[in-house]
Structure 1
Amino acid sequence: MKTKSLPLVALFAALTAIGGFIKIPIPYVPFTLQIAAVYLAGCLLGPKLGMLSQLVYVLVGLAGAPVFAEGGGPSYVLQPTFGYLIGFVAGAYVNGWLMQIFQFRKAATIFLANLSTLFVVYLFGCAWLYIAMKWIVEKPLTIGQTLWFGFLLPVPGDLLLCAVCSVLVARMLPRIQSVIRKQEV
């Protein structure tokens, strides 16, 4: 990784934090704009830098900065929504990897990469939501309730963001890649 890439990593970590403050409260899992930053980080930065941007975001929050949707600090690991944050890290990597391997350039194919990111985020998020509610909060949810509150309620907005980000990336990718190539020289 080049030192010149660090500002891009910091930028996407900051965008994820900002997205956490723009939220619509729904039970258990608030709808936020954070996933948009995850899509963009994976698509535009690639697997390693995209993942690193989300890892920086999570580590800054765990260090105590109130950058998560509901605060920050090391105890946030015990929150029912912490799995979604781990999903951001893994999802950005998967997205960047798919973009790199398949060289997606059209909005429709970029949508598939973003959709895979969404799947990864919800996989980690719903799994942790179920575990945390059962063994940490001790207010267990059934698997059906977990899927309802952790997936079905927030997913329509995330799908909309998935589509919007796909169009944005298709338009931005040629410009961003030329900037990144210039930095590598």
Structure 2
Amino acid sequence: MGVSDVNLTTKQMALVSMFAALTAVGAFIKIPVPYIPFTLQFFFVILAGLLLGSRLGLLSQIIYIAVGLSGLPVFASGGGIGYVAQPTFGYLLGFAAAAFVAGRINEKYSRDSAAFYFVCCLAGLALVYVVGALYLYLVMNYLAGTAFTVKQTLWFGVVICLPGDLLLCAAASSLVQKVAKRVRHISGGAAYK
């Protein structure tokens, strides 16, 4: 996507901003677990991808990350450029990838069923876990100097959060099936551009 390709309507800009803000709100709705807090962020990330499409869903997450890195405390544990050294920062990078991939799968295969949307969610979730767990392992072992095994990484970085994230996938899939046509109408068909 080049600079000349960025021609967003006011409605699209509003929706992108809204999903960036919802992702920030999701960071503060959390269940504390060791190392990785379980939040509602993934729910809003996946909604952004499925409802706005790959390009706008990705943009919403890039804006969210940029706002947090600029110093506003919109991440689950604060904000600022130093957040890149947090073990959980990889999950934020995974959010951007998840929004893009879920949106892209939806654009390419476009089936209006909760089961199809659930598959899109799972693809996004897999990316979040791969990027996030790898980042967690690297930061814990090489930056924090903590001996963190692959088993610990998988346990704390994937297994503990997986049941909740699967529930978020189910909820998002059901919601998208109900509202996708309305959002596409409001956004000027954003999911197809």
**Counterpart residue number, 1:152:** 159
Provide the aligned C-alpha RMSD in A.
1.3
Distance apart, 1:182 and its partner CA: 7.4
Aligned positions of 1:119-134 closer than 5 A:
119-134=126-141
- 1:142 pairs with 146, 149, 173, which one? 149
**Counterpart residue number, 2:8:** 2
For 1:50 and 1:102, the matched residues in 2 are separated by: 17
Q: Which structure 1 residue ranges, 5 or more long, are not aligned?
A: none
Do the aligned residues in 1 keep the contact of 2:93 with 2:131 (CA within 8 Å)?
A: yes
Aligned positions of 1:27-38 closer than 5 A:
27-38=34-45
Letter in 2 for 1:177: R
4+ residue segments displaced more than 3 Å: none
Do the aligned residues in 2 keep the contact of 1:130 with 1:140 (CA within 8 Å)?
A: no
For 2:189 and 2:123, the matched residues in 1 are separated by: 29
**Counterpart residue number, 1:173:** 180
**Counterpart residue number, 1:162:** 169
- 2:57 pairs with 50, 60, 80, which one? 50
TM-score (norm 2): 0.93
For 1:11 and 1:104, the matched residues in 2 are separated by: 25
Letter in 1 for 2:165: D
> Would the alpha carbon gap of residues 179 and 146 (structure 1) be closer, same or farther in structure 2, given more than 3 Å must change?
same
Q: Secondary structure of the residue that 2:188 maps to in structure 1?
A: helix
Q: Secondary structure of the residue that 2:154 maps to in structure 1?
A: helix
Distance apart, 1:155 and its partner CA: 1.0
For 1:40 and 1:51, the matched residues in 2 are separated by: 11
Q: Which structure 2 residue ranges, 5 or more long, are not aligned?
A: 1-6
Letter in 1 for 2:125: L
> Would the alpha carbon gap of residues 3 and 181 (structure 1) be closer, same or farther in structure 2, given more than 3 Å must change?
closer
Equivalences, count:
184
Distance apart, 1:140 and its partner CA: 2.3
Do the aligned residues in 1 keep the contact of 2:70 with 2:79 (CA within 8 Å)?
A: yes
User: CA offsets, 1:86-118, max 9 Å, x none?
Assistant: 000011000100000000210011000011000
For 1:10 and 1:140, the matched residues in 2 are separated by: 39
Do the aligned residues in 2 keep the contact of 1:41 with 1:53 (CA within 8 Å)?
A: yes
**Counterpart residue number, 2:3:** none
**Counterpart residue number, 2:79:** 72
**Counterpart residue number, 1:116:** 123
For 1:162 and 1:180, the matched residues in 2 are separated by: 23
Q: Secondary structure of the residue that 1:167 maps to in structure 2?
A: helix
